[in-house]
Amino acid sequence: MRNHLATLILATTLVAPGCSKPSEGHATPASAAPATSAPVLVAPPPAAASSAPAPAASAAVEPPTYAQRTVPGGMHNGAWVQPFQIVRDKGNLGLSYVDAMSRCIGYGKVLCSDSSWARACATDEKLSKIETWVSTGVGGNRFVTRGGEDAGCRARDVKDGADLSPTRAAVCCDFDIAVKTQGTDALTTGTVRRLFAYYRALRDKDALALAGFYEDKVTWLGKEHTNADLIKVHQESFKKDPAQWTQFDTCTVAGDKGDAPDAKASVDCVTLFQRKGAVVVAMQRLIFSRDGKIKLIGDAETAGLPAVSGAPVQEKELKERVGILLQAD
Protein backbone atom coordinates (compact mmCIF):
# COMPACT_ATOMS: atom_id res chain seq x y z
CA MET A 1 0.00 0.00 0.00
CA ARG A 2 2.86 2.37 0.83
CA ASN A 3 4.34 1.93 -2.62
CA HIS A 4 1.00 2.70 -4.23
CA LEU A 5 0.52 5.89 -2.26
CA ALA A 6 4.08 6.94 -3.09
CA THR A 7 3.29 6.76 -6.80
CA LEU A 8 0.51 9.31 -6.47
CA ILE A 9 1.40 12.92 -7.24
CA LEU A 10 -0.23 13.94 -3.95
CA ALA A 11 -2.36 11.82 -1.68
CA THR A 12 -5.28 14.24 -1.52
CA THR A 13 -6.20 16.07 -4.76
CA LEU A 14 -9.63 16.11 -6.40
CA VAL A 15 -11.12 17.07 -9.71
CA ALA A 16 -13.49 20.02 -9.58
CA PRO A 17 -16.97 18.91 -10.62
CA GLY A 18 -18.77 20.70 -13.41
CA CYS A 19 -21.63 22.91 -12.40
CA SER A 20 -23.99 22.35 -15.30
CA LYS A 21 -26.09 19.33 -16.06
CA PRO A 22 -24.82 17.55 -19.17
CA SER A 23 -26.97 17.18 -22.20
CA GLU A 24 -28.31 13.81 -23.26
CA GLY A 25 -25.38 13.42 -25.63
CA HIS A 26 -22.78 14.30 -23.00
CA ALA A 27 -19.39 12.94 -24.01
CA THR A 28 -17.15 11.39 -21.41
CA PRO A 29 -13.73 13.09 -21.25
CA ALA A 30 -11.00 11.04 -22.88
CA SER A 31 -8.85 11.47 -19.77
CA ALA A 32 -11.44 9.52 -17.78
CA ALA A 33 -11.01 6.32 -19.81
CA PRO A 34 -10.36 3.26 -17.65
CA ALA A 35 -6.72 2.28 -17.17
CA THR A 36 -7.29 -1.28 -18.27
CA SER A 37 -8.02 -1.86 -21.94
CA ALA A 38 -11.46 -3.08 -22.87
CA PRO A 39 -11.47 -6.82 -23.64
CA VAL A 40 -10.98 -7.68 -27.29
CA LEU A 41 -14.02 -9.50 -28.59
CA VAL A 42 -13.35 -12.02 -31.34
CA ALA A 43 -16.36 -12.62 -33.60
CA PRO A 44 -17.32 -16.31 -34.08
CA PRO A 45 -17.22 -17.75 -37.59
CA PRO A 46 -20.36 -16.99 -39.62
CA ALA A 47 -23.16 -19.50 -39.31
CA ALA A 48 -24.28 -21.51 -42.31
CA ALA A 49 -26.75 -19.70 -44.56
CA SER A 50 -30.39 -20.27 -43.67
CA SER A 51 -33.62 -19.18 -45.24
CA ALA A 52 -35.21 -18.68 -41.83
CA PRO A 53 -35.34 -15.02 -40.76
CA ALA A 54 -32.98 -14.04 -37.97
CA PRO A 55 -34.71 -13.25 -34.67
CA ALA A 56 -34.88 -9.57 -33.77
CA ALA A 57 -32.33 -8.45 -31.18
CA SER A 58 -33.98 -7.73 -27.87
CA ALA A 59 -33.40 -4.15 -26.77
CA ALA A 60 -32.05 -3.48 -23.30
CA VAL A 61 -34.78 -2.31 -20.96
CA GLU A 62 -34.17 1.23 -19.72
CA PRO A 63 -34.10 1.18 -15.90
CA PRO A 64 -36.34 3.71 -14.18
CA THR A 65 -35.10 7.23 -13.67
CA TYR A 66 -34.82 8.58 -10.14
CA ALA A 67 -35.83 12.18 -9.57
CA GLN A 68 -33.41 14.21 -7.48
CA ARG A 69 -34.31 14.16 -3.80
CA THR A 70 -32.68 14.86 -0.46
CA VAL A 71 -31.85 11.84 1.69
CA PRO A 72 -31.95 12.60 5.43
CA GLY A 73 -28.81 11.94 7.43
CA GLY A 74 -28.59 8.73 9.42
CA MET A 75 -26.51 5.77 10.51
CA HIS A 76 -25.28 2.92 8.32
CA ASN A 77 -23.06 0.15 9.71
CA GLY A 78 -22.03 2.32 12.63
CA ALA A 79 -21.12 5.32 10.45
CA TRP A 80 -22.96 8.64 10.25
CA VAL A 81 -23.95 9.75 6.73
CA GLN A 82 -24.70 13.44 6.27
CA PRO A 83 -27.88 14.54 4.43
CA PHE A 84 -27.26 14.45 0.68
CA GLN A 85 -29.01 14.58 -2.69
CA ILE A 86 -29.31 11.63 -5.07
CA VAL A 87 -30.44 11.46 -8.72
CA ARG A 88 -30.50 9.23 -11.81
CA ASP A 89 -31.36 10.75 -15.20
CA LYS A 90 -32.06 8.99 -18.50
CA GLY A 91 -29.15 7.34 -20.25
CA ASN A 92 -25.95 6.78 -18.26
CA LEU A 93 -26.11 3.08 -19.20
CA GLY A 94 -23.47 0.53 -20.12
CA LEU A 95 -20.55 2.54 -18.73
CA SER A 96 -17.32 1.38 -17.12
CA TYR A 97 -16.75 2.41 -13.50
CA VAL A 98 -14.47 5.34 -14.39
CA ASP A 99 -16.82 6.58 -17.12
CA ALA A 100 -19.82 6.32 -14.78
CA MET A 101 -17.95 8.37 -12.18
CA SER A 102 -17.06 10.92 -14.85
CA ARG A 103 -20.73 11.14 -15.84
CA CYS A 104 -21.74 11.91 -12.24
CA ILE A 105 -18.96 14.49 -11.93
CA GLY A 106 -20.58 16.20 -14.91
CA TYR A 107 -23.62 16.69 -12.67
CA GLY A 108 -21.48 18.19 -9.89
CA LYS A 109 -21.79 14.91 -7.99
CA VAL A 110 -20.05 11.52 -7.71
CA LEU A 111 -21.18 7.92 -7.75
CA CYS A 112 -22.89 7.21 -4.43
CA SER A 113 -20.70 5.42 -1.93
CA ASP A 114 -21.81 2.04 -0.62
CA SER A 115 -22.92 3.73 2.62
CA SER A 116 -24.77 6.58 0.88
CA TRP A 117 -26.59 4.20 -1.48
CA ALA A 118 -27.62 1.93 1.40
CA ARG A 119 -28.84 4.92 3.43
CA ALA A 120 -30.86 6.19 0.44
CA CYS A 121 -32.35 2.75 -0.25
CA ALA A 122 -33.32 2.36 3.41
CA THR A 123 -35.45 5.50 3.04
CA ASP A 124 -36.87 4.59 -0.40
CA GLU A 125 -36.70 0.98 -1.58
CA LYS A 126 -37.65 1.97 -5.16
CA LEU A 127 -33.98 2.85 -5.58
CA SER A 128 -33.13 -0.87 -5.47
CA LYS A 129 -34.78 -1.35 -8.89
CA ILE A 130 -31.83 0.41 -10.54
CA GLU A 131 -28.54 -1.48 -10.86
CA THR A 132 -25.65 0.95 -10.43
CA TRP A 133 -21.96 1.20 -9.75
CA VAL A 134 -21.19 2.72 -6.36
CA SER A 135 -17.92 4.49 -5.74
CA THR A 136 -16.68 2.01 -3.11
CA GLY A 137 -13.73 -0.03 -4.38
CA VAL A 138 -12.01 -3.13 -3.06
CA GLY A 139 -8.72 -2.90 -4.97
CA GLY A 140 -7.48 -4.64 -8.08
CA ASN A 141 -9.78 -2.47 -10.28
CA ARG A 142 -12.84 -4.04 -8.64
CA PHE A 143 -15.80 -2.00 -7.44
CA VAL A 144 -19.11 -2.59 -5.73
CA THR A 145 -22.44 -2.63 -7.59
CA ARG A 146 -25.80 -2.27 -5.89
CA GLY A 147 -29.43 -2.83 -6.85
CA GLY A 148 -31.11 -4.34 -9.90
CA GLU A 149 -34.60 -5.39 -10.94
CA ASP A 150 -36.28 -7.08 -7.93
CA ALA A 151 -32.87 -7.26 -6.19
CA GLY A 152 -33.81 -5.37 -3.03
CA CYS A 153 -31.73 -3.07 -0.85
CA ARG A 154 -29.44 -5.87 0.34
CA ALA A 155 -28.21 -6.68 -3.18
CA ARG A 156 -24.44 -6.19 -3.52
CA ASP A 157 -21.89 -7.51 -5.97
CA VAL A 158 -18.29 -6.79 -6.96
CA LYS A 159 -17.33 -6.29 -10.63
CA ASP A 160 -14.21 -5.47 -12.58
CA GLY A 161 -14.15 -1.74 -13.34
CA ALA A 162 -14.11 -2.43 -17.09
CA ASP A 163 -17.24 -4.60 -16.93
CA LEU A 164 -19.96 -3.22 -19.23
CA SER A 165 -23.58 -4.10 -18.53
CA PRO A 166 -26.24 -2.58 -20.82
CA THR A 167 -28.67 -2.21 -17.89
CA ARG A 168 -26.24 -0.82 -15.28
CA ALA A 169 -26.82 2.89 -14.70
CA ALA A 170 -24.97 5.66 -12.90
CA VAL A 171 -26.83 6.83 -9.79
CA CYS A 172 -25.21 10.05 -8.55
CA CYS A 173 -24.93 11.51 -5.05
CA ASP A 174 -23.48 14.61 -3.43
CA PHE A 175 -19.91 14.37 -2.16
CA ASP A 176 -20.13 12.84 1.31
CA ILE A 177 -18.12 10.89 3.87
CA ALA A 178 -19.41 8.12 6.12
CA VAL A 179 -17.88 8.99 9.50
CA LYS A 180 -17.21 6.80 12.52
CA THR A 181 -15.94 8.43 15.72
CA GLN A 182 -14.29 7.12 18.86
CA GLY A 183 -15.79 9.85 21.03
CA THR A 184 -17.78 13.08 21.19
CA ASP A 185 -15.18 15.36 22.77
CA ALA A 186 -14.47 18.81 21.31
CA LEU A 187 -11.27 17.70 19.57
CA THR A 188 -12.97 14.80 17.79
CA THR A 189 -16.06 16.74 16.70
CA GLY A 190 -13.95 19.71 15.61
CA THR A 191 -11.76 17.40 13.54
CA VAL A 192 -14.83 15.98 11.77
CA ARG A 193 -15.84 19.51 10.76
CA ARG A 194 -12.32 20.25 9.51
CA LEU A 195 -12.24 16.96 7.59
CA PHE A 196 -15.37 17.92 5.64
CA ALA A 197 -14.01 21.43 4.98
CA TYR A 198 -10.70 19.96 3.78
CA TYR A 199 -12.60 17.60 1.46
CA ARG A 200 -14.54 20.55 -0.01
CA ALA A 201 -11.30 22.39 -0.76
CA LEU A 202 -9.94 19.28 -2.49
CA ARG A 203 -13.15 18.84 -4.43
CA ASP A 204 -13.00 22.45 -5.62
CA LYS A 205 -9.29 22.18 -6.51
CA ASP A 206 -8.67 25.30 -4.41
CA ALA A 207 -4.92 25.10 -3.77
CA LEU A 208 -4.84 28.41 -1.93
CA ALA A 209 -7.60 27.28 0.43
CA LEU A 210 -5.68 24.04 1.05
CA ALA A 211 -2.76 26.09 2.38
CA GLY A 212 -4.93 26.97 5.38
CA PHE A 213 -5.32 23.29 6.32
CA TYR A 214 -1.63 22.40 6.61
CA GLU A 215 0.88 23.06 9.35
CA ASP A 216 4.01 24.99 8.35
CA LYS A 217 5.71 21.60 8.03
CA VAL A 218 3.87 18.39 7.15
CA THR A 219 5.09 14.80 7.19
CA TRP A 220 3.90 13.23 3.94
CA LEU A 221 4.58 9.50 3.46
CA GLY A 222 7.40 9.64 5.98
CA LYS A 223 9.15 12.77 4.65
CA GLU A 224 8.86 16.34 5.84
CA HIS A 225 7.56 19.00 3.43
CA THR A 226 6.84 22.70 3.88
CA ASN A 227 3.37 24.11 3.45
CA ALA A 228 4.52 26.02 0.37
CA ASP A 229 5.97 22.84 -1.17
CA LEU A 230 2.69 20.97 -0.76
CA ILE A 231 0.66 23.79 -2.29
CA LYS A 232 3.01 23.89 -5.26
CA VAL A 233 2.56 20.15 -5.75
CA HIS A 234 -1.23 20.57 -5.57
CA GLN A 235 -1.15 23.31 -8.21
CA GLU A 236 1.06 21.34 -10.58
CA SER A 237 -0.97 18.17 -10.07
CA PHE A 238 -4.30 19.89 -10.80
CA LYS A 239 -2.81 21.40 -13.97
CA LYS A 240 -1.19 18.22 -15.31
CA ASP A 241 -4.07 15.85 -14.55
CA PRO A 242 -7.29 17.91 -14.42
CA ALA A 243 -9.53 14.82 -14.62
CA GLN A 244 -8.12 13.31 -11.43
CA TRP A 245 -10.26 12.83 -8.35
CA THR A 246 -9.93 11.62 -4.79
CA GLN A 247 -12.81 10.31 -2.70
CA PHE A 248 -12.96 9.68 1.03
CA ASP A 249 -15.30 6.72 1.51
CA THR A 250 -15.43 5.88 5.23
CA CYS A 251 -13.35 7.72 7.84
CA THR A 252 -12.78 6.79 11.50
CA VAL A 253 -11.88 9.73 13.76
CA ALA A 254 -10.38 9.58 17.26
CA GLY A 255 -8.85 12.35 19.38
CA ASP A 256 -6.40 12.35 22.27
CA LYS A 257 -8.02 12.72 25.68
CA GLY A 258 -7.39 15.79 27.79
CA ASP A 259 -6.68 19.44 27.06
CA ALA A 260 -2.95 19.29 26.33
CA PRO A 261 -1.90 21.88 23.69
CA ASP A 262 -0.11 19.16 21.70
CA ALA A 263 -3.18 16.89 21.57
CA LYS A 264 -3.93 15.48 18.14
CA ALA A 265 -6.68 13.64 16.32
CA SER A 266 -6.14 10.66 14.01
CA VAL A 267 -8.31 10.09 10.92
CA ASP A 268 -8.18 6.79 9.02
CA CYS A 269 -10.01 6.95 5.68
CA VAL A 270 -10.74 4.30 3.08
CA THR A 271 -9.74 6.47 0.11
CA LEU A 272 -9.98 6.14 -3.66
CA PHE A 273 -7.42 7.92 -5.86
CA GLN A 274 -7.98 8.26 -9.60
CA ARG A 275 -4.90 9.35 -11.52
CA LYS A 276 -4.86 9.28 -15.32
CA GLY A 277 -7.76 6.84 -15.46
CA ALA A 278 -6.38 4.31 -12.95
CA VAL A 279 -8.02 3.95 -9.52
CA VAL A 280 -6.17 2.84 -6.39
CA VAL A 281 -7.92 2.02 -3.10
CA ALA A 282 -5.92 2.58 0.07
CA MET A 283 -6.25 3.26 3.79
CA GLN A 284 -5.04 6.82 4.31
CA ARG A 285 -3.96 8.34 7.64
CA LEU A 286 -4.36 12.05 8.46
CA ILE A 287 -3.18 13.59 11.73
CA PHE A 288 -4.80 16.87 12.80
CA SER A 289 -3.38 19.09 15.55
CA ARG A 290 -5.65 20.65 18.16
CA ASP A 291 -5.92 23.84 16.10
CA GLY A 292 -7.28 21.86 13.15
CA LYS A 293 -4.14 21.87 10.98
CA ILE A 294 -2.92 18.72 9.24
CA LYS A 295 0.54 17.65 10.37
CA LEU A 296 0.77 14.21 8.73
CA ILE A 297 -0.50 12.58 5.54
CA GLY A 298 0.27 8.92 4.96
CA ASP A 299 -0.84 5.56 6.26
CA ALA A 300 -0.49 3.65 9.52
CA GLU A 301 2.85 2.22 8.41
CA THR A 302 4.49 5.51 7.46
CA ALA A 303 2.95 7.22 10.51
CA GLY A 304 4.46 4.56 12.79
CA LEU A 305 1.16 4.45 14.67
CA PRO A 306 -1.59 1.86 15.16
CA ALA A 307 -4.95 2.36 13.49
CA VAL A 308 -7.21 4.63 15.53
CA SER A 309 -9.54 1.75 16.49
CA GLY A 310 -6.62 -0.24 17.90
CA ALA A 311 -7.13 -2.87 15.14
CA PRO A 312 -6.36 -3.06 11.43
CA VAL A 313 -9.22 -0.86 10.22
CA GLN A 314 -8.84 -1.82 6.57
CA GLU A 315 -9.40 -5.50 7.37
CA LYS A 316 -12.10 -5.26 10.03
CA GLU A 317 -14.29 -2.59 8.45
CA LEU A 318 -14.12 -3.73 4.85
CA LYS A 319 -14.89 -7.33 5.73
CA GLU A 320 -18.02 -6.06 7.42
CA ARG A 321 -19.01 -3.47 4.79
CA VAL A 322 -18.03 -5.07 1.51
CA GLY A 323 -17.37 -8.69 2.39
CA ILE A 324 -13.98 -8.68 0.70
CA LEU A 325 -10.51 -7.82 2.01
CA LEU A 326 -9.05 -4.48 0.94
CA GLN A 327 -6.43 -4.88 -1.77
CA ALA A 328 -4.39 -2.11 -3.35
CA ASP A 329 -2.49 -4.03 -5.96
User: Averaged in consecutive runs of 10 residues, what is the pLDDT profile of the chain (329 residues)?
Assistant: 38 36 35 31 38 45 83 88 91 90 91 95 93 91 89 89 93 93 83 92 89 93 90 90 90 84 89 86 90 85 43 38 29
Q: What is the pLDDT of residue 60?
A: 57
Class for domain 177-321, per CATH? alpha beta
Question: Start-end ranges of CATH 3.90.1580.10 in the chain?
Answer: 63-173
State the DSSP code for 61. Answer: P
Contact 66, 109 (CB under 8 A): no
DSSP letters of 134-183?
EEEEEETTEEEEE--TTT-TT-EEEEETT---TT-B--EE----EEEES-
Which H or E run includes 255?
strand 245-255
Q: What is the pLDDT of residue 322?
A: 34
Q: CA angle, corner 12, sides to 160 and 206, nearest 5?
A: 125
Q: What is the pLDDT of residue 182?
A: 75
- Phi and psi (nearest 5°) for 303? -75, -20
Q: What is the pLDDT of residue 89?
A: 85
Using CA atoms, how far residue 235 sits from 52, 59, 140, 218, in Å, is: 64, 46, 29, 17
Q: What is the pLDDT of residue 90?
A: 80
Within its chain, how far is the Cα of 8 from the centroid?
16
CB neighbourhood size of 170 (10 A): 28
Question: Start-end ranges of CATH 3.10.450.50 in the chain?
Answer: 177-321
User: In the CATH scheme, what is the code of domain 63-173?
Assistant: 3.90.1580.10
Within its chain, how far is the Cα of 173 from the centroid?
11
